[in-house]
Structure 1
Amino acid sequence: MRGASPDLVGTAVDDGDPLPGTRGFAGPLDGALVRDVLGREPLFYDQSASHGAAGESTPDATTGAAGEYTPDATAPTADGAWSHDRRDLSDPEPVPAGYRVTADGTERLWSLPDPEPVDDDERAVAAVRAALDAAVGDAADGGAIADDGDASTAVAFSGGVDSALLAARLDAPLYVAGFPDSHDVEAARSAADLLGRDLTVVELTHDDLERAVPDIVAATGRTNAMAVQIALPLYLTAERAAADGHDRLVLGQGADELFGGYAKVAKAPDDPRVDADTVRGARREVLTGLPDQLERDVLALRAAGVEPVTPLLSDRVVAAALGLSGSQLVRGDERKWALRRAAAEWLPDAVVDRDKKAAQYGSLAARELDRLARQAGYKRRMDDHVTKYVASLVGE
């Protein structure tokens, strides 16, 4: 079991508690496979074989140099095979988030709570601030991201409020990846200056993209253009951090989904990309896509040689975010209103109020991968031309 003790997970199953105080978990339990309600830890079983033996111990595979993967020689590939890494299995199928998988099929164990919102703004912001404080503090004090004396922890830093509040609380080096003059590089530099922190800039090149794409595809099993574009800056940031001797990377993943950071949430019910007719409903709808996104990100980061740490996805923060009202998620033109007010405890106003771009756009990875596709003959008039280019790089 990764992420929590079997006893804690067993109690959560017995009590039907979807948020038992962890940062996510997945693994074998009493002859079954279980995965937490948000899918923060990937878990797979081999659907080409019977998984009736699910629950037997599976050795962890090993990650060597960045981008390289060495399967454990004893990793199971016969009946009952399962793994936290899809590359161990011949026909991997993800365990659904919040479910138990047995030889008899799947069973939902948990759903996200849907509490009544906290109407008082001051209490709501205080709850978020306390949850953030505890999540980052517990992670550091508990050793999950504590420095072991060899500077083994780094922070992925885009200059936005999510990563900045982590950077402000952690004594760890900051990394950003992007093409020269990209939005993320400029934003990270200015935010690092405001925080009085040094910053390592990973300047991307076309060669970096072409080299990283096959590794990302192998790790995630995805050739979809958007999935690869999102993973690229994460992978290349992690690869550089690993090369510099860091084995953990702290990220602000989950903040946009939990706190109303997306335009389609802010514009509900008028945005056709969501079905919900309220901001809170749209936020909940967006959260359903988080397990799939986290699977991609975690697998890509581990393939690059680091272990991801996501304090903003701790159960405490999730619970506080779910208690926010629609106006505490989005107020006027301001998204992530409560998160920004909470983060103001630690950040200057210029960082608190800053908007950010999605990583694939802010780093220019999406634009430059599109450029490479067109240079290789995959023109925009072709259906899904970047995905076709990605597939060509891995021989598909």
Structure 2
Amino acid sequence: MDGTDPGTVRDAIETRDPLPGTAGFAGVVDGQFVRDVLGRRPLFVDADDPGEWAFERRTLGDPKSVSPGTVRALDGFEESSGSEYSAPEDCFWALPSPDPVSDADDAVAAVRAAVLDRTRAIGASGESDGSQSDDVAVAFSGGIDSAVVAAGVPDAPCYVAGFEGCHDVAAARNAAAAMNRDLRVVELTHDDIREGVPELVDVLGRTNPMDLSIALPLVRVAGRAAADGFDRLALGQGADELFGGYAKVSKAPEDPRVEADTVRGARRELLGTIPDQAERDVLALRSAGVEPVTPLLHDDVVAAALALPGDLLVDGDRRKVALREAARGVVPDSVRTADKKAVQYGTYVSRELDRLARQAGFKRRMENHVERYVRSLVDGGEPEID
């Protein structure tokens, strides 16, 4: 069992509790495949032999992801799509849909309590004296998400990756200075793309440029942290999905990228992307030698976020309103209120991957020109241009 103990999962099955107080879990218990409701831990079965399973896809002949929320006998799988086993409508656990908390102060206080508890627990060694473990580093971009995580482990070093002159490195330097933190910068190069992309394709089984542009800086940060002796990497993953950090959520229902007609409904749609993202990030980081720690995706934080009213997710031009309010006094205001770019853009990885594709002859007028370049790297750098 990955992520928690079998007893906790058994209790969650008995009570049908989708949020039993974990940061996600996956594995086999009592002859059943189980994966938590948000799919925060990857789990795969072999399409050729569904009795064969693994936490890492490369050990299987034809790996398929087990759907989030699944509880199913080892011999009870039937393929339901091209990439997953078991259908979402058949899943055992469903994400709660609580009514919004009517009192804004109470709602923010609940978020603050959950976030502080879970981020401060990152460094706990489990010893009765409450001593801190020194095996954790923080992936740090200078935004509110990674800043509140870093605040929970004040002695942990912070790491950021990016190409020269990129937004994330500049933001991380400013935030680290404001928080008086040790920041270690991993400068990316074109060789990191040329060498790292084929490795990631092998690990993830994906060739789409978006996933690779997100995973590459994470892997490089993780590799540097591992080389420095750290076993775990704490990240702010999940905050945008839970707290309304995306423009398409803030613009609902006008934004065509979401079907929902409310901010809360759009946020709910975005939560459905977490399993795919978590699979990508966990596989990538583990391949680099660290175990990811995602306190903002803990059940306690999820429960508090789900109860937020729409105006504590988005209020005019402000996004992640409740999280920013909860972080008052925890991180400097300059960090708490700062805007942030998506990692693939803030690190310039997406831009430089496109640049390398065009230099290799894959022009923008060509359909899927960057993915075609990716496939050429996987094939040994031989371009297939028509």
TM score, norm. by length of structure 2: 0.92
Aligned to 1:94: 65
Q: Does 1:104 align with 2:104?
A: no
Aligned partners of 2:71 and 2:91 also within 8 Å? yes
Structure 1 pair 146/307, CA: closer, same or farther in 2 (3 Å)? farther
Amino acid at match of 1:18: P
Provide the rounded CA distance (Å) in 2 between the counterparts of 1:181 and 1:320.
37
Q: Does 1:222 align with 2:206?
A: yes
Aligned to 1:158: 141
Amino acid at match of 2:291: E
Provide the rounded CA distance (Å) in 2 between the counterparts of 1:225 and 1:386.
7
Aligned to 1:63: none
Q: Secondary structure at the match of 1:207?
A: helix
- The 10-residue stretch of structure 1 (320-329 or 27-36) with the greater mean CA deviation from structure 2: 27-36
Q: Does 1:293 align with 2:264?
A: no
Aligned to 1:77: none
Q: Does 1:141 align with 2:124?
A: yes
Pairing of 1:1-396 with structure 2 (within 5 A)? 1-49=1-49, 51=50, 80-102=51-73, 103-105=75-77, 106=86, 107-143=90-126, 148=133, 151-170=134-153, 171-395=155-379
Q: CA deviation at 1:135?
A: 1.0
Deviations along 1:283-339, one digit per CA (max 9) or x if unpaired, are: 000101110011001101111111100000000000000000000100111000000
Aligned partners of 1:274 and 1:285 also within 8 Å? yes
Provide the rounded CA distance (Å) in 1 between the counterparts of 2:138 and 2:256.
35
Aligned partners of 2:119 and 2:148 also within 8 Å? no
For structure 2, which runs of at least 5 residues remain unmatched after alignment? 78-85, 381-386
- The 10-residue stretch of structure 1 (273-282 or 29-38) with the greater mean CA deviation from structure 2: 29-38
Q: Secondary structure at the match of 1:302?
A: helix
Provide the rounded CA distance (Å) in 2 between the counterparts of 1:313 and 1:138.
13
Aligned partners of 2:354 and 2:370 also within 8 Å? yes
Aligned partners of 1:127 and 1:320 also within 8 Å? yes
Q: CA deviation at 1:143?
A: 4.5
Residue-pair matches, total = 365
TM score, norm. by length of structure 1: 0.90
- The 10-residue stretch of structure 1 (211-220 or 356-365) with the greater mean CA deviation from structure 2: 211-220
Provide the rounded CA distance (Å) in 2 between the counterparts of 1:233 and 1:335.
24
Q: Secondary structure at the match of 1:155?
A: strand
Amino acid at match of 2:182: D
For structure 1, which runs of at least 5 residues remain unmatched after alignment? 52-79
Q: Secondary structure at the match of 1:139?
A: coil
RMSD over aligned CA atoms reads 1.5
Provide the rounded CA distance (Å) in 2 between the counterparts of 1:229 and 1:386.
11
Provide the rounded CA distance (Å) in 2 between the counterparts of 1:89 and 1:346.
44
Deviations along 1:230-268, one digit per CA (max 9) or x if unpaired, are: 111111111111111111100000000000000000000
Aligned partners of 1:147 and 1:153 also within 8 Å? no
Q: CA deviation at 1:374?
A: 0.7
Q: CA deviation at 1:101?
A: 3.4
Amino acid at match of 1:134: D
Aligned to 1:76: none
Percent identity reads: 61
Q: Secondary structure at the match of 1:81?
A: strand
Q: Secondary structure at the match of 2:123?
A: helix
Provide the rounded CA distance (Å) in 2 between the counterparts of 1:245 and 1:40.
25
Q: Secondary structure at the match of 2:122?
A: helix
